[in-house]
Structure 1
Amino acid sequence: MTNASDSRAAKLAHLRSDRLAKGDPIPLPLTMAAIFHAPGDATGFNQYGRFSNPNWDAIEEMLGHLEDAPCRAFPSGMGAISAVFFALLKAGDRILLPSDGYHTTRILADRFLGAFGVTTDVRPTSSFLDGGFDGYRLVFVESPSNPTLDICDITAAADAIHKAGGQLVVDNTTMTPFGQRPLDLGADIVVAADTKAPNGHSDVLFGHVASRDPNVIEAVTEWRENAGGIPGPFEAWLVHRGLETLELRFDRMCSSAEIVAGRLKAHRAVSGIRYPGLADDPSHNLARAQMERFGFLISFDLGSEQKAEDFINGCELIHAATSFGGVHTVAERRLRRGDAVPPGFVRLSIGCEPVEELWAAMEKSLDRIVA
C-alpha cells in the first residue's frame, strides 16, 4: 500500500505527460526568452519575460504538486520572504519573528520593514506560543529553527494566531514538503529556499511561496511582476531537474542523519547535540507528531573555535561551506555568521555520501581533535 508521500513522489516527474505530443522532449525544454510572439490581443499568452515564462510554469506546477497549493517562484529564499512581507504588510502592522531563526529574515525586518512603519518583535522558537499573538498581522515561524533546531508546535500556533486575527507564515526550508507539511498543519503561507534540498546540487539560488489563500497568491504575484523580483528561466530549469530526485536524495540524507546523530552523541568530543530524531532531544515528541522525517541537519558543540574549525577542515568528506541540503555533506561554525551560539557550535548538513564511509571520515577527524 502506498502512502501520500509516495504518491506525490511517483507523480512528480510525470506532471507534463498529459500535455506531450508525439515527438515532444520528455525532459523540460529550456526557454530562454525575454519576449514572445504576441500579435493582437495576447491575453492568456506569454508576452514578456517579467510576466511569465514556460520554465516558471513548470517549476510552479511541480512545487504546487508537492505543497498541494498554488506556488510562486522567486530568485532566492529571501526573495520569497521579501515578497510576502512587502506584498502583505503596511505601515502600522506588527509582526513576530523567531529570535533564533535565520538571521537575514530579522535583518530584513529591522532595517527595511521598520523604515516603512512595520514593528517587529522576536521570540524564541522553543517558547514561541508563550505570550500569545494579539495584535500581530503576520507571525513568522521557522521550525526546525536554523541553526539550533528548536521546534514550534505549528498546529497550536496556527490556531492561536487565527483566533487573534493574524496569519501564520512558516519557513519550511530545513524540511521540504517531504519532511513537513505546514499548510496541512494550519499555516496560511509557506516560504522556502529551494536553493537547498529541492535543487540539491548547490548550483542555483531559488525560492517559492505557497498558499491556499488566493488573495495571498494574487498579492505576491503582483509584487513579483511589478518589483521585478523574478527567477531566471535557466535557474527554474535547474530546480525543476533537481526536484525530480528530491524524494530519493531526501530519504538518503535523513536516513544517514539518523545514524550519524546517534554516533555523534556518543563521541567524547561532542556536547550539546541537537537532532529531532534523537529520543532524548527536547523536541523529539513534537517532531514525531508533526514531521514526516527528522531532517538532515544536526547541530552540536565541539568546545572551542579551534576544535570546530579543525574538525571541519580535517574531515575529507566534509566541505567547509555555508548553506545546506546539497548532495555534499557540509559544515559550518555558525558563530562566524552572527548566530547567538557558542564558539565551537557546528551546523552539519548530511549529504548523499554512503553513510559508513562518511561516518568513518567524521570519526577520524573527531578523534584527532581530542587526541
Structure 2
Amino acid sequence: MTDNSARAAHLIHLRRRKLAKGEPVPLPITPAAMFNLPGDPAGFAQYGRFDNPTWEAVEEMLAHLEDAPAVAFPSGMAAISAVFFSQLRSGDRVLLPSDGYYTTRVLAERFLKPLGVSFDLRATGTFLDGGFEGYRLVFLETPANPGLDLCDIAAVAAAADAAGATVVADNTTMTPYGQRPLDLGADIVVAADTKAPNGHSDALFGHVASRDATVIAGVKEWRKLSGAIPGPFEAWLVHRGLETLEVRFDRMCSSAETIARRLKDHPKVKALRFPGLEDDPSHNLARAQMERFGFLIGLTLESETAAEGFIDGCELIQPATSFGGVHTSAERRARWGDAVAPGFVRLSVGCEPIEELWATIERALG
C-alpha cells in the first residue's frame, strides 16, 4: 500500500474515531456564532470567530493529508494573506514567482509595498538563479499557474534555508496527493481548497499548513483578530469533497495524461505544456518531486479566436475561471493579463469518461 493509499483509506474514517454510539456518521453543520459558556471559558468553544466544530473537522482532515497542523481560511488568497501579514514586517523583502498566480503579485504591490515590505519577481523555471540572500520569505508555486513551469522545491528550500529565508509553497495545482512540499523542505504550504479538494466548484476555501508551531500560532492569531474565518457551510462542503479527493484526483490525472499525449500530435496545437510528457522541459524534475503529473494542461492554439472557439465549441468543456472541479473546464488566460500567448488555453481535466471527453475535444479542435 502506498503512502497516499494509506492516507486516503484513513482519511474517510477520521470522524469514526470520535463517534459515540448513536451519533451521525456524516459531519453535522454547526452554524453557531455563540456557545453556552457559563463560568471560566478556558478550554471551551467561545465565539464563532474563534472556534467552529465544522471547520475544525476539515482542519483535521487537511492535517492528516499534509502530515502537519493545518489552519482553514475562507479562500486560498485568505490563506496567502494570513502568511504574509502574520510573518512579515516593515523592511522585509519577499521573492515571488513572476509567472505564478497573478493575484499574489497584486496583493504584494497594493498592500505589502505601502507597509514597507519590498518584493522581487523571478521566473519559476529559473527560480534558483540569483540565490536567496536578503529575503525574509521566498514564495514559490510549482507547477506555476498557468504556464506549468516547475522549480526544484528541495533545492530552493535548502538554498533559502542557508540564506535564512522562510520558504512558502503554493500547492494549489497539485494537492497533497500529487506533491508534498513540506516533505521536500518547504516551511509552509498554502493552497486554495476551492479547487480539487472541494472539487464541485461550489465553495471557496483555503488552508495553511506548517510543522513550525510558531508559524501556526501566528497564522491562527491573524485569523482570529482579522476575522478571516471560513463559514461552517463552506467547511461542510469541503469536508465532503475531501472524502472523494483521492478518487477524483486519480481519474483527473490519468485522463490528463491520455489527453495530453493526444493533443501533442494534433495539428491545431502549436505548443503544449504538461509535465508528464517525456519531452516537456520539466519532465525529469516532475518525475523526481511529484507523485502525479496533475490534471492541468497548457495548450496554445494559433490565435485568440481559435482559442475562444475551441472553448465555447466543446460541449464537455465548461468555460470558466478556476480549475479542479469535476467538470472539465478551460479559459484563455491572456484575458486576465497573464504573460502567455493570445491563443494559450489552460485546460483543467475533470471526471468525465475519457473517450467521450476526448471525442468532444477532438471535434472542437477540428
Compute the TM-score of the two structures, normalised by the length of structure 2: 1.00
- Residue 84 (structure 2) pairs with residue 85 (structure 1): yes
Q: Distance in 1 between matches of 2:238 and 2:217?
A: 23
Q: Deviations over 1:152-181 (max 9, x none)?
A: 000000000000000100000000000000
The aligned residue for residue 264 of structure 2 is: 265
Q: Distance in 2 between matches of 1:75 and 1:153?
A: 29
Q: Secondary structure at the match of 2:104?
A: helix
Q: How does 1:343-358 map to 2 (within 5 A)?
A: 343-358=342-357
Q: Deviations over 1:104-147 (max 9, x none)?
A: 00000011000100001000000000000000000000000000
The aligned residue for residue 213 of structure 1 is: 212
Q: Secondary structure at the match of 2:134?
A: coil
Q: Distance in 2 between matches of 1:21 and 1:163?
A: 49
Letter in 2 for 1:236: A
Q: Distance in 2 between matches of 1:264 and 1:323?
A: 21
Q: How does 1:54-69 map to 2 (within 5 A)?
A: 54-69=53-68
Query: How many Å apart are 1:279 and its aligned residue?
Result: 0.5
Query: How many Å apart are 1:300 and its aligned residue?
Result: 1.1
Q: Distance in 1 between matches of 2:344 and 2:248?
A: 26
Letter in 1 for 2:214: N
Q: Deviations over 1:193-245 (max 9, x none)?
A: 00000000000000000000000000000000000000001111110000000
Q: Secondary structure at the match of 2:250?
A: helix
Q: Deviations over 1:283-328 (max 9, x none)?
A: 0000000000000000011010000000000000001100000000
Q: Distance in 2 between matches of 1:54 and 1:13?
A: 17
- Residue 20 (structure 2) pairs with residue 28 (structure 1): no
The aligned residue for residue 5 of structure 2 is: 6
The aligned residue for residue 292 of structure 1 is: 291
Q: Distance in 2 between matches of 1:235 and 1:56?
A: 9
Q: Distance in 2 between matches of 1:39 and 1:340?
A: 57
Q: Distance in 2 between matches of 1:49 and 1:236?
A: 13
Q: How does 1:1-371 map to 2 (within 5 A)?
A: 2-367=1-366
Letter in 1 for 2:223: R
Query: How many Å apart are 1:18 and its aligned residue?
Result: 1.7
Query: How many Å apart are 1:91 and its aligned residue?
Result: 0.2
Query: How many Å apart are 1:364 and its aligned residue?
Result: 0.3
Q: Distance in 2 between matches of 1:121 and 1:18?
A: 47
Q: Deviations over 1:76-124 (max 9, x none)?
A: 0000000000000000000000000000000000110001000010000
Flag structure 2 segments of 5+ consecutive residues without an equivalent: none
Query: How many Å apart are 1:42 and its aligned residue?
Result: 1.8
Letter in 2 for 1:19: K
Q: Distance in 1 between matches of 2:142 and 2:82?
A: 20
Task: Give every structure 1 segment of 4 or more consecutive aligned residues whose post-TM-superposition deviation is greater than 4 Å.
Answer: none
Query: How many Å apart are 1:56 and its aligned residue?
Result: 1.4
Q: Secondary structure at the match of 1:352?
A: coil
Letter in 2 for 1:191: V
What percent identity do the matched residue pairs reach?
Answer: 71
Query: How many Å apart are 1:262 and its aligned residue?
Result: 0.4
Compute the TM-score of the two structures, normalised by the length of structure 1: 0.98
Query: How many Å apart are 1:272 and its aligned residue?
Result: 1.4
Q: Distance in 2 between matches of 1:59 and 1:104?
A: 25
Q: Secondary structure at the match of 1:44?
A: coil
Letter in 1 for 2:204: L
Q: Distance in 2 between matches of 1:64 and 1:292?
A: 18
Q: Distance in 2 between matches of 1:108 and 1:272?
A: 31
| CA RMSD, 1 decimal | 0.4
